[in-house]
């Protein structure tokens, strides 16, 4: 078992104060803090290795390229992809989803064909498809959720699949509700109907061990900055047979094989999807973040964060007027909810609650969390969201609960 205080020493920002109060950082679903090993590795590359990758025969370029491709292999191992060619670097989950939306719809769909998402999706997994609906005439449909924030039963999903359903795109974990969706079951049903599945793993990759081969998803997207890595770097995993079918997302340097005035032929996988200079320092930082998470271990991460989630919900429910959204479990293991707790208190506006908690040094997210259709389903304008990482403690949850009680007394 890890000493949580030793873990916290790896994150210098956690020792700072805000408004003269110790920082209580509970906005990890938005972005996580970065350990020193990640910051040091990126600084070292800029100081000692900096050169463009895949472009030079000189020593620095070769060294930078080796680090960049070592990071790709690290990612492959992290999610247990079959081949390194199945790992495409992007700017984040949003770009990864947009890449699939653009390339898949262009090559695999026609007007009237359907993409199926869920009612709990982040805007990235809604708007990306709506743009294609405007351009190509495809139809975006959604699976409903229950009042307590769970997806309809898997048997009900088949009722939403039609002969025109060409792809299902689904969040692994809701960024608002923390609901863990049964993606393996959904993928199995989809594949029985010959439908590929894209999994938005932005909120799952930081918290649980991912095995894309066991999951059998066709695409999986996640971001570095939500798992202790730098901003501006993300990953799209795609099965080789699907990536081979899809056309490039963008044009530019290094994604080409040969260019003439008559036509262009494209590079092999994964490079045909990586136009221009990549953020090769960020890929190195992502690799170090993966090393850090692996050294801590997912057995610890999962157990620790599930206990924080259980404890938070248990303590929040002692507050008068508390309403928690999504699966709520009293004192029992939280098997279908992970690291996110969204709530409102009485008639207190979520923005007021978040602003006043901030004055107490407590960082939470407020608003619609880039999930306005979900807010409409819940009949609210927004929530307060506390979200956890491997460095959070029960004492921080106690501070949150005390802060909410203090704020509540003002109204």
Just list the catalytic residues.
370
Considering only CA atoms, which of 115, 93, 119, 120 is closest in space to residue 104?
Answer: 115
Considering only CA atoms, which of 395, 389, 326, 318 is closest in space to residue 361?
Answer: 395
**Nearest-5° Cα angle at 334, 330 to 338:** 125
Q: Tell which phi-psi region holds residue 357, choosing left (phi > 0), alpha (psi between -120 and 50) or beta.
A: alpha
Considering only CA atoms, which of 203, 396, 206, 182 is closest in space to residue 302?
Answer: 206
Q: What are phi and psi of 147, to 5 degrees?
A: -65, -25
Name the pairing type of β-strands 256-259 and 322-325. unpaired
Residue 8: CA atoms inside 13 Å, Cβ hemisphere, count? 13
The string of DSSP letters for 355-402 reads HHHHHTTEE-EEE-TT-HHHHHHHTSS-EEEEE--TT--HHHHHHHHH
H-helix or E-strand containing 342? strand 340-345
Q: Give the whole-angstrom CA distance, residue 38 versus residue 230.
A: 8
Q: Give the whole-angstrom CA distance, residue 127 versus residue 205.
A: 22
Residues 6+ apart with CB under 8 A from 303: none
Q: Give the whole-angstrom CA distance, residue 150 versus residue 185.
A: 14
Considering only CA atoms, which of 124, 123, 94, 128 is closest in space to residue 235?
Answer: 94
Q: Give the whole-angstrom CA distance, residue 367 versus residue 385.
A: 9
Give the other-Cβ count within 10 Å of 141's Cβ: 15
CB 59 within 8 Å of CB 44: no
Rg, the chain, Cα only: 22
H-helix or E-strand containing 325? strand 322-325
Alpha carbon of residue 61 to chain centroid? 31
């Amino acid at each position: 078992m890890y000493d949580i205080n030793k873990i916290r020493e790896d994150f210098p920002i956690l020792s700072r104060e805000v408004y003269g109060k110790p920082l209580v950082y509970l906005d990890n679903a938005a972005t996580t803090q970065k350990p020193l090993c990640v910051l040091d590795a990126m600084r070292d590359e800029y100081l000692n290795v900096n050169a463009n990758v895949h472009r030079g025969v000189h020593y620095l370029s070769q060294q930078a390229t080796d680090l960049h491709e070592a990071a790709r292999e690290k990612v492959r191992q992290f999610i247990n992809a079959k081949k390194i060619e199945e790992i495409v670097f992007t700017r984040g989950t949003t770009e990864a989803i947009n890449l699939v939306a653009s390339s898949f719809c262009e090559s695999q769909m026609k007007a009237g064909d359907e993409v199926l998402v869920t009612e709990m999706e982040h805007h990235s997994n809604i708007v990306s498809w709506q743009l294609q609906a405007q351009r190509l005439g495809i139809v975006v449909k959604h699976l409903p959720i229950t009042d307590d924030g769970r997806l309809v039963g898997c048997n009900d999903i088949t009722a939403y699949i039609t002969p025109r359903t060409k792809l299902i795109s689904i969040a692994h974990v809701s960024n608002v509700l923390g609901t863990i969706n049964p993606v393996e079951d959904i993928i199995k049903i989809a594949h029985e109907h010959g439908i590929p599945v894209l999994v938005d793993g932005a909120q799952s990759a930081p918290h649980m061990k991912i095995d894309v081969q066991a999951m059998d998803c066709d695409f999986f997207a996640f971001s570095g900055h939500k798992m202790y890595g730098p901003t501006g770097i993300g990953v799209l995993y795609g099965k080789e047979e699907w990536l081979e079918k899809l056309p490039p997302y963008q044009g530019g340097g290094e994604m080409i094989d040969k260019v003439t005035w008559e036509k262009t032929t494209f590079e092999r996988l994964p490079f045909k999807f990586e136009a221009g200079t990549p953020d090769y320092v960020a890929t190195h930082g992502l690799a170090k973040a993966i090393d850090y998470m692996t050294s801590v271990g997912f057995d610890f991460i999962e157990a620790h964060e599930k206990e924080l989630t259980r404890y938070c919900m248990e303590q929040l429910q002692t507050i008068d007027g508390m309403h928690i959204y999504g699966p709520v479990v009293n004192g029992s293991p939280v098997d279908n909810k992970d690291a996110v707790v969204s709530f409102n208190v009485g008639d207190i506006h979520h923005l007021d609650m978040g602003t006043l908690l901030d004055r107490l040094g407590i960082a939470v997210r407020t608003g619609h969390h880039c999930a306005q259709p979900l807010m409409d389903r819940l009949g609210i304008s927004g929530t307060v969201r506390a979200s956890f990482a491997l460095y959070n403690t029960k004492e921080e949850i106690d501070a949150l609960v005390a802060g909410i009680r203090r704020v509540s007394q003002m109204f």
